[in-house]
Amino acid sequence: MSRAQLTSTDQQNSGGAVPPVVGGKNFIANGGMDIFQRSTSVTIPNTTPGYYAPDRFLFYSNGGSTTLSRVAGTAGITYATQVATTTGNTQINIENRLEYQQAQLLMGKTVTFSFYVNAATTSGVSIAVGDYYPSALDNWASVTFAQKGTVSAAQLSAGNWVRQSVTFTADTNTTGLGFYLTITGLGANTLQITGWQVEIGNVATPFSRAGGTLQGELALCQRYYEKSYDLATAPGTAVNSTFVTPSATTTSYIYGFVPYKVTKRTTPTVLIWDNGGNANATTRGLLGSGNSNNQNGAVDDQSMTGFTWLSAGSSNANIAFIHFTASAEL
């Protein structure tokens, strides 16, 4: 007998009596903010939405100066993101976008969007909760927001974590689906957030990683963004790379290949650095004679699985290094 036959209509719609912690229940990759490949502390530009700190989360700030930093989480979730705003801030958006192919499973269904939030000061703070979608297939240059609920100041507790949830019918379209919080009334304040979960059904079940494990979560993130640096090292940091290509001794080009750890959503945008942290450069070396940073470099062929690159310089070299990031974000 199938599970569908064993469960009521409500349970079928809500996903049934699934275990509370299981990979795939939560549609939000990195909902527990385990992975911060780009930075664990960064001041973000005003009115420029982007992926700055926790993987898969897009942040937008309007007014004042806003800093994102990784802080301790709650309820067994190790990390959270702290949004520190300054006087003049009128809006913070926190968003997480799903590819259409993944989002289809949610469209038209009853879903529950839950998260943990801790605001230092709650007076005047309001959080709009909803989903949103792009105007073209997986092309988020233009989006439509659909507010589904509100978390008011009265539902928050100054300096304490609270879990909030909103249940609604996810929008249906042929382009994609994301989930967002719009936070207003912060001014100069700090707000911490973690434990994002979007699941089918009308109940906020205990938080569960989308990828099931830390490695699963990292792999989910790496479908969209990958770097050559250690996880705790921000891109562009001056540190020796292990992405090295040996060559016959030459004053001409050295040609290298980088295979991605995880196949990307689409052909990604690539940035490269040398061992000294110089952008768009390579490090060339002659074994036994040391290395030279800031040598010319270029990305050549690109695909979803890797890229080739060139190092050019005038001095003899038989080895070349690069660091890289590859972004296939939505």
Contact positions toward other proteins, by CB under 8 A? 45, 48, 50, 138-141, 253, 265-272, 279-280, 296-299, 301-302, 307, 310, 312, 327-330
For other proteins, the closer CB: 207 or 225: 225
Min dist CB 34 to other proteins, Å, is 23
Residue pair 49/15 in contact by the 8 Å Cβ criterion: no
Place of tokens 């296939």: 328
For other proteins, the closer CB: 105 or 304: 304
Dihedral over alpha carbons 229, 235, 241, 242 (to 10 degrees): 30
Residue from 201, 211, 170, 172 nearest 30 by CA: 211
For other proteins, the closer CB: 262 or 330: 330
Parallel/antiparallel/unpaired status of strands 225-227 and 126-136: unpaired
For other proteins, the closer CB: 1 or 141: 141
For other proteins, the closer CB: 199 or 329: 329
Q: Count the neighbouring beta carbons within 10 Å of the beta carbon of residue 209.
A: 24
For other proteins, the closer CB: 170 or 330: 330
Q: Exposed, middle or buried: residue 9 (CB in 10 Å: 0-12, 13-18, 19+)?
A: exposed
Min dist CB 61 to other proteins, Å, is 13
For other proteins, the closer CB: 54 or 268: 268
Residue from 262, 233, 208 nearest 30 by CA: 208
Q: Which residues on neighbouring strands pair with residue 136, listed in sequence order? A: 139
For other proteins, the closer CB: 60 or 115: 60
Min dist CB 186 to other proteins, Å, is 22
Place of tokens 């939505």: 330
Min dist CB 138 to other proteins, Å, is 6
Min dist CB 270 to other proteins, Å, is 5
Min dist CB 225 to other proteins, Å, is 12
Angle at 191 between CA 139 and CA 91, to 5 degrees: 50
What φ, ψ does residue 326 adopt, rounded to 5°? Answer: -135, 120
Min dist CB 253 to other proteins, Å, is 8
Residue from 26, 55, 24 nearest 222 by CA: 55
Establish how many alpha carbons lie within 13 A of residue 208's alpha carbon, considering only the half-sphere containing its beta carbon.
Answer: 18
Establish how many alpha carbons lie within 13 A of residue 10's alpha carbon, considering only the half-sphere containing its beta carbon.
Answer: 2
Q: Exposed, middle or buried: residue 187 (CB in 10 Å: 0-12, 13-18, 19+)?
A: middle
Min dist CB 191 to other proteins, Å, is 24
Min dist CB 140 to other proteins, Å, is 7
Residue pair 96/29 in contact by the 8 Å Cβ criterion: yes
